[in-house]
Amino acid sequence: MNDLFGADDASTPLTPEEQRDLLPSYIATRAELNEAEQQNILAAQSWAYGLRRPDPFDEKWLKRLHRRMFEQVWSWAGRYRTTPRNIGVDPWQIAPQMRIFLDDARFWVKHATYSPDELAIRFHHRLVYIHPFANGNGRHARLAADVLIVQLGGERFDWGQATLVDAGEARSRYIQALQEADRGRIEALVRFARSGAGET
């Protein structure tokens, strides 16, 4: 299958079982996979922004968003992963951690704990930190944060004006900002989310 499932720095490795859940039989390269996923994600964006009342604080809605983003490519789209990763919580902790996270996020909104931008980026970070799905966690968390910031009256984030799918300078800055947020310093991730291609 060419470079399709080869290791790189830009994606979470899939187990052999998860790899077998690829739906389109024509996909043979990483570029074809990225293109198929991107087309699916564009359709999901139209769906998410077309809803009268998207609910990013609802666990079922977040699962449905992931399913919409990847359902034409992966049979496991929208289902929590069942295998461990080198990032994220253990599989058995995903559901309880999601409930805790969403309760926290509702509290942040109710009590205006953070500015809208910081709240949406903290939401994004916690979702990536939990890493609930087999793959697509960053893209899912970015779209969820974009939906949330629009709901809070803000503008969608720039995310470095890059797709962040392929390894490169923008993705490296994004991952560094996520790691800073893991250590309790969210500012770099907020700056990155609002940055243009050359800013931090």
Sequence-distant contacts of 178-187: CB under 8 A, at least 24 apart: 178/125, 178/128, 181/121, 181/122, 181/125, 182/125, 182/129, 186/118, 186/121, 186/122, 186/125
Amino acid letter for position 17 = E
Distance CA 144, CA 151 (A): 11
Q: Please, are residues 34 and 60 in contact by the beta-carbon 8 Å criterion? A: no
Can you give the length of the chain in residues?
Answer: 200
Point out the catalytic residue in the list 66, 124, 131, 140. Answer: 131
Concerning whether 131 is annotated as a catalytic residue, the answer is: yes
Question: Which tokens hold the place of 172?
Answer: 């490296």
Torsion-angle region of residue 115: left (phi > 0), alpha (psi -120 to 50) or beta? beta
User: Other CB atoms closer than 10 Å to residue 65's CB: what's the count?
Assistant: 24
Active-site residue numbers? 131
